[in-house]
Structure 1
């Protein structure tokens, strides 16, 4: 089995927080995945290194130009509730 540490739960605003020992190696602001299974909790650091590097794409589509503001007007999508025959309009009002 591994090392055992004591941690303290305290109130932080409207939430509770868990103060972890420095020896665990977590840094302030680091994201952690917490799992609960049968009343037991486990946590592990989340590795957020999945960045997308677009540097290699720059200039690879020379004909691609940004849309002008007047080109950003799109046709309105029909919505179910825009139909006057939609049965949702005939629902009885709540009291």
Structure 2
């Protein structure tokens, strides 16, 4: 019982670390959690695309833009603010383009 619990906890911790180890992985995991599964896997991500429109970036935050392909009016183009905390990155959507 304890061994199964340890394996489960270790697997969940490893999955969390892998989903937040890079800014792109953090953005893709955030998009997948918003149920944009195909876009989370295939959409290109650009750094600093909308940085001029975001005024509240701190020293450990960067601006990113995710473009869904093919472009569809039903799927908005997401802007993200990615914050680095230790060795992990956390993405937060800040608006649509």
**TM-score (normalizing by structure 2):** 0.26
Higher RCO (C-alpha under 8 Å, 6+ residues apart) = 2
Report the TM-score, using the length of structure 1 for normalisation: 0.26
Q: Which has the larger radius of gyration?
A: 1
